[in-house]
Amino acid sequence: MNFDFVKPEFLIFLAAVPVIVLLHFYMLKRKRSHALRFANFDAIARVKGVDLLSKNIAVLALTVLIAILLILALTGVQIQRTLYSSSFSFVIAMDSSISMEATDFTPNRLEAAKQTALNFVDTTPLGTRIGVVSFSGNSFIEQTLTEDKAFVKRAIERIPLSSIGGTDLNEAVVTGTNILEAEEAKSIILLSDGRINVGTIEEAINYANNHDVIVHTIGIGTEEGGLTSYGMSKIDEDALKALSFNTGGKYFKAETEESLQDSFNQLMDLKFKKVSVDISRYILMAALILFVIEYILISTRYRILP
């Protein structure tokens, strides 16, 4: 469970809490000095069994707590948690960079990934909304979210090897996330050999987490590598592992067509989503309740406070 703030700039008002404490003791000292001019207040307190210090500390604690709660309510604090779900919407983000022409898969990495993605689409339940993104140095929307499997499969089939250099995982995550913006349960399935050389993985992680998107990654390639037009290309898992781990997803390593298919099969069993719950209204209600309690205490039991 993580906490997030819609307006974190309001957290600066927490600096006022120590000021409240200092003002409380300053005013208490001043009022007590004034009272002692007219009576032996300590003696009266001992006779009546009143612990003035503890009563003032209790009121101070309530005041500080109310102030903190009001500040948190202003920030729009949210709790981000993972819940069970059976209604995911998916974006299949497929690496189409030149390294995906490597021949360690038959006939190459891209065609093997496309065929397995097609099988995945066939196995999804009716009504599943799926979009398709291809990416290299840039990302492209091949298909917006749709329940029509035929549209999705045609979009996957027509993804070509890109002539644009580079592999930008961040751009792929941003594009996929934007497609999923209005969905309840959002997941990106990203297939790549992990050779990121455009953008940073930290940006991709932050963007996905800020929009409650789970990113599952499938690393396509072998340790030995495959032959491309520019030489040998090996899988680079570090970025893919970091992306999935830090967004609540799973990482799968596919070194064969069979393991690639198994990766997609396992994704069908993952039924979790991330949601953000705005708790600022509940915090505000708690602050109001504590304010009423404090008022009652001061007006009744603690009414003799100086």
> Residue 36: what pLDDT?
54
pLDDT band (50, 70, 90) for residue 40: low
Q: Which two tokens stand for residue 207?
A: 């963007």
> Residue 84: what pLDDT?
47
Average pLDDT over residues 141-158: 96
Distance separating alpha carbons of residues 165 and 304, to the nearest angstrom? 78
Residue 148 CB burial class (10 angstroms; 0-12, 13-18, ≥19): exposed
> Residue 305: what pLDDT?
44
The larger pLDDT score, comparing residue 189 to residue 88, is at: 189
The larger pLDDT score, comparing residue 87 to residue 12, is at: 12
Closest CA to 188 of 251, 123, 259: 251
pLDDT band (50, 70, 90) for residue 49: very low
C-alpha pair distances (Å), 217 with each of 15, 71, 121, 240, 302: 42, 39, 17, 6, 61
Distance separating alpha carbons of residues 186 and 84, to the nearest angstrom? 12
pTM of the model: 0.63
Instruction: Classify 165 as helix, strand or coil.
Output: coil
Distance separating alpha carbons of residues 13 and 202, to the nearest angstrom? 29
Closest CA to 291 of 77, 68, 74: 68
Instruction: Spell out the domain ranges in the chain.
Output: 2-80+278-299, 86-270
The larger pLDDT score, comparing residue 228 to residue 40, is at: 228
Average pLDDT over residues 191-218: 88
CATH topology of domain 86-270: Rossmann fold (3.40.50)
Average pLDDT over residues 246-255: 92
